[in-house]
Structure 1
Amino acid sequence: HWNKVSEPAAPTAAPSKIELHFSENLTTQFSGAKLIMTDMPGMPNSPMGVKAAVAAGGDPKTMVITPAAPLTTGTYKVEWRAVSSDTHPITGNFSFKVK
């Protein structure tokens, strides 16, 4: 059974990285995430993807999302997919705001 155990607190200053911690080891080639800006002041064309690198963290239960550029004021959503060694995928998402 999976548990995602952390996500950024909202609202927040712009994070330089977003870490997702899971209760089981990830199979990195099948796990991943997308960072999407869902709203910002004066933004008519939402949502839009944010260029970010997604990689394994310092331990096998962690996924790290590193935006290519500093995040600007707005609302963001992380959509993630995690696959453990038993090959059972789970997906989820969460949102946070940058002030």
Structure 2
Amino acid sequence: MAAALLKKVLNTAALLTLMAGASAAFAHAHLEQSTPAAGSIVTSANELRLVFTEGVEQAFTKVVLTRDQAPVTVSSIKTEPANKKVLIVTPAHPLPAGTYQVKWNAVSVDTHKSAGDYSFTVSN
């Protein structure tokens, strides 16, 4: 009887371990932090840094930046070489005063897709 109980406990522990690993494997890259921060007011912005909860695939991750609903030209979107969780978005020119909307679609290194948006303001 003790052996049967031990077997049940071990099977349950093994199942819980597998389930915990599966949920981590199916995670998505969520935006953890941004610079400029969501909802912030800054005096200048030469680049945006989006920090995700896991690495993103640069080639399949898109960011659209608009100012007062007009598209803003972006010269590059790259992951930081040492940290694939950090996406660096460089506008073609320093951002003038206005309200900016950032819309992102990320593909994590495990190929899961996620999307979101936020806004910030540049003031002089």
Normalised-by-shorter TM-score class: 0.7 to 0.9
**Selected match of 2:73 from 30, 34, 51:** 51
Aligned partners of 2:58 and 2:77 also within 8 Å: no
Show structure 1 runs of 4+ deviating over 3 A.
Answer: none
Alignment map for 1:58-97 (pairs within 5 Å): 58=81, 59-97=83-121
Aligned with 1:6: secondary structure?
Answer: strand
Q: Distance in 2 between matches of 1:78 and 1:68?
A: 15
The alpha carbon displacement at 1:31 in A equals: 0.8
Q: Which moved more, 1:3-12 or 1:63-72?
A: 3-12
- CA RMSD of superposed structures (Å): 1.2
Unaligned runs of 5+ in 1: 39-46
The alpha carbon displacement at 1:5 in A equals: 1.2
The alpha carbon displacement at 1:11 in A equals: 0.5
Aligned residues: 91
Aligned partners of 2:51 and 2:85 also within 8 Å: yes
The alpha carbon displacement at 1:85 in A equals: 2.4
Aligned partners of 2:77 and 2:90 also within 8 Å: yes
Q: Distance in 2 between matches of 1:67 and 1:3?
A: 22
The one-letter code matched in structure 1 to 2:91 is P
Q: Scaled by the length of structure 2, what TM-score is found?
A: 0.68
Unaligned runs of 5+ in 2: 1-26
Structure with larger RCO (C-alpha < 8 A, sep 6+): 1
Aligned with 1:61: secondary structure?
Answer: strand
Q: Distance in 2 between matches of 1:26 and 1:85?
A: 5
Partner residue, 1:11: 41
The one-letter code matched in structure 1 to 2:43 is A
Overall identity of the aligned pairs, in %:
32
Structure of higher CA gyration radius: 2
